[in-house]
């Protein structure tokens, strides 16, 4: 058990060091030499624990995916009504974006990098499928607690939320403006609630 723990701890330490190196230097300039130096290990140790550089980068992406899912799950309050829960949850997640926008850039870089490789493209799909599932399940929990149902399928609402957040993140990292971003986030929150409640929606036939 001790050996298993040591392996897990060493892998976690290397992944954390890789994130620091990526944050500092960007994907294109981050070499295994720089990662090894940041982790205070030699390059042979990197290969022992992760194999090729791509394997390490994809392990980093998976770790960042897990962190994002945990943030979403812990951001939503437990004992609140649906409207408040959605607002508080999305605002709490956005606070994380503003606190560390460079991590969002890294995650986008790694996602695009994974898509370039047919062997790793599944990671990008898994990433977003995971986000959709987490949000859908959380919204379902609040609806059931309130004895309500969603006017639109929750899977569609979850995709709308993730798409909206993605767009806001890209705008923010491209041209940081916290005031503007928070106003846009408020609009996303209101639109999400409207979609779930079916209020003030235009005739769907306009989409035909």
Q: Give the 3-state secondary structure of 75-130.
A: HCCCCCCHHHHHHHHHHHHHHHHHHCHHHHHHHHHHHHHHHCCCCCHHHHHHHHHH
Q: What residue has token string 């030499």?
A: 33
Query: Going from the N-terminus, what domains does the chain have, and what CATH number goes with each?
Result: 1-51 (1.10.10.60), 53-202 (1.10.357.10)
Q: Which of 137, 163, 140 is nearest to 150 (CA)?
A: 140
CA 162 to chain centre: 9
Distance separating alpha carbons of residues 92 and 76, to the nearest angstrom: 8
Q: What is the reported pLDDT for 208?
A: 45
Sign, CA dihedral 195-200-204-206, equals negative
Q: What is the reported pLDDT for 171?
A: 97
Q: What is the reported pLDDT for 78?
A: 66
Per-residue pLDDT of the chain (208 residues; tens, 9 = 90+): 555 568 889 999 999 999 999 999 999 899 999 999 999 999 999 999 999 999 999 999 889 888 888 887 777 666 678 888 888 889 989 999 999 999 999 999 999 998 988 888 898 888 899 899 989 988 998 898 888 999 999 999 999 999 999 999 999 999 999 999 999 999 999 999 999 988 776 565 644 4
DSSP of 23-56? HHH-TTT--HHHHHHHHTS-HHHHHHHHSSHHHH
Q: What is the reported pLDDT for 207?
A: 44
End-to-end CA distance of the chain: 60
Q: What is the reported pLDDT for 203?
A: 61
Q: How many Cβ atoms sit within 10 Å of the Cβ of residue 118? A: 7
Distance separating alpha carbons of residues 183 and 167, to the nearest angstrom: 14
Distance separating alpha carbons of residues 132 and 9, to the nearest angstrom: 30
Q: What is the reported pLDDT for 79?
A: 66
């Amino acid at each position: 058990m001790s050996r298993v723990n040591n392996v897990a701890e060493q892998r976690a330490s290397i992944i954390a060091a890789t994130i620091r190196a990526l944050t500092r230097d960007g994907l294109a300039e981050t070499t295994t030499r720089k990662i090894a130096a940041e982790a205070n290990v030699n390059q042979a140790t990197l290969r022992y624990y992760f194999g090729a550089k791509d394997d390490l980068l994809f392990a980093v992406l998976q770790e960042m995916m897990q962190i994002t899912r945990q943030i979403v799950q812990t951001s939503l309050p437990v004992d609140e009504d649906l409207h408040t829960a959605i607002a508080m949850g999305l605002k709490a997640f956005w606070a994380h974006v503003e606190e560390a926008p460079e991590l969002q850039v890294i995650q986008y870089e790694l996602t695009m990098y994974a898509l370039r490789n047919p062997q790793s493209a599944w990671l990008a799909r898994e990433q977003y499928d995971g986000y959709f599932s987490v949000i859908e399940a959380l919204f379902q929990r609040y609806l059931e607690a309130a004895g309500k149902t969603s006017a639109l399928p929750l899977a569609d609402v979850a995709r709308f939320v993730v798409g909206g957040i993605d767009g806001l993140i890209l705008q923010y990292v491209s041209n940081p403006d916290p005031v503007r971003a928070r106003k846009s986030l408020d609009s996303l929150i209101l639109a999400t609630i409207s979609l779930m409640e079916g209020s003030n929606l235009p005739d769907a036939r306009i989409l035909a």
